[in-house]
Amino acid sequence: MRRILLRRLVQIVPLLLGVIVMNFVLIQLAPGSFLDVMTAEQQISDPAMIEKLRVVYGVDQPAVVQLGKYILSVLQLDFGFSYRQNAPVFDVIVAALPATVILMLASISVAIIVGVTAGVIASVKVNTFWDNLVSIAAVFFFAAPTFWLGIMLTILFSVRLGWLPVGGMRTIGGTHGPVADALDVAHHLLLPALSLGLFYAATYVRVMRASMLEVFRLDFVRTARAKGLSRARVVVVHVLRNAMLPIVTLVGLQLGTVLGGSVVIEAVFSWPGIGSLMLDSVMSRNFPVVLGVLVLSSLVVAVANTAVDLAYLKLDPRIRAR
């Protein structure tokens, strides 16, 4: 376990370096700059002031020099300065990070719970009405765009029924205690978490169903049945644990896409997280924030995949023996 952990940590360094270089080059190729946005919004119009800002933010230097200075700054946990928020990029990202983490954990939990449960039902009731129903639902939620699903859920539960809020993270002007505030956030979280989680649950359903059916045909499952164990015990104790390995892999691979999907969902539900910050930064050409979000997101995904590798060791002892 220590060897695998050390190997993964060493691999993170070139990964982050590659992410920085690639995204820096793409940002340099993108048209416009924050000075163009400020000029268009008539925040500044004096050419001397524009040139002074170019010197202050270092955009007057060659791209190679800017890249080298940025890499050195990242090594010191300095991701630059956000002119729009007038604060360091790291502080801006940290302020928006909790909202996105809450949304990601909630949506992944919805995807795993719904996807695994439905996959188990489909495999146990294979070639029956329940199997067909789960398969149709999985195809529907996989094909439906997350923003469309979010809008439809908003129309149903917020506009028609009035059960859930339309958007935001908290009730404006509400004065609550810690428990009431947590319930208020959960109340606002339900629709965005469902919209994002059901899309990924559709994938987990198909993978879980196929994995369960494959494990059902293995010899140790036949042995467990021959010992007279109940069907529920065979499914839960012997089949489910071994069938979870592909799901664990899929969760690690999809963490990056979940973070990318949160950009759309946060825009639909006005959720004040990294996605909303990223969208605003792209529109305002606030490239230090864009690059900082991409670097930290890559770090989170790399660490999460390391955690997935360690979870493999717990789920399948055969991997530890290799």
Q: Are 64 and 157 found together in one domain? A: no
Residue 6 maps to a domain: no
Each residue of 126-148: pLDDT tens digit? 888 988 999 899 889 888 888 88
DSSP 78-107: ---EETTTTEEHHHHHHHHHHHHHHHHHHH
Token pair for 210: 């196929």
Q: Where residue 321 falls among pLDDT bands split at 50, 70, 90?
A: very low
Domain match, 108 and 156 both:
yes
User: What whole-number distance in Å separates Cα of residue 154 and Cα of residue 139?
Assistant: 21
Do 158 and 291 belong to one domain? yes
Q: Does 76 fall in a domain?
A: yes
More confident: 6 or 99: 99
- Whether 262 maps to a domain, the answer reads yes
Residues 166 and 224 in one domain: yes
Could you read off the pLDDT of 279-292 as tens digits, one per residue?
A: 888 887 888 888 88
User: Is residue 113 domain-resident?
Assistant: yes
Domain count, the chain: 2
Same domain, 243 and 214: yes
Cα separations (Å) of 192 from 154, 165, 205, 245, 286?
9, 11, 20, 27, 26
pLDDT in tens, 192-214: 989 888 988 888 898 888 888 88
Do 70 and 175 sit in the same domain of this protein? no
Q: Looking at the structure, do residues 32 and 122 belong to the same domain, yes or no? A: no
**Same structural domain for residues 135 and 271?**
yes
Is 134 in the same domain as 265?
Answer: yes
CA distance 295 to 67: 14
The three-state secondary structure class of 168 is coil
* Residue 264 falls inside a structural domain: yes
Both 132 and 236 in a single domain? yes
Residue 45: the pLDDT is 66
Mean pLDDT of 222-249: 80
**CA pair distance 247, 316, nearest whole angstrom:** 13
Do 27 and 102 fall within a single domain?
no
Q: Are 130 and 122 in contact (CB under 8 A)?
A: yes
Q: Which amino acid appears at position 158 of this protein? A: S
Statement: the pTM of the whole predicted model exceeds 0.85: no
**Phi and psi, residue 62, nearest 5°:** -60, 155
What is residue 37's predicted lDDT score, i.e. its pLDDT? Answer: 67
317 SS3 class: helix
**Residue 267 to residue 279: CA distance in whole angstroms:** 8
Residue percentage of the chain with pLDDT more than 70:
89
Q: How confident is the model at residue 174 (pLDDT cuts 50, 70, 90)?
A: low
145 and 286 belong to one structural domain: yes
Q: Is 7 within the bounds of a domain? A: no
Please give the mean pLDDT across all residues of the chain: 81
Among 90, 107, 132, residue at a domain's last position: 90
> Residue 175 — pLDDT band, cuts 50, 70, 90?
low
Q: Is 4 inside any structural domain?
A: no
The domain of 51 spans 14-90
Kindly state whether residue 247 falls inside one of the protein's structural domains.
yes
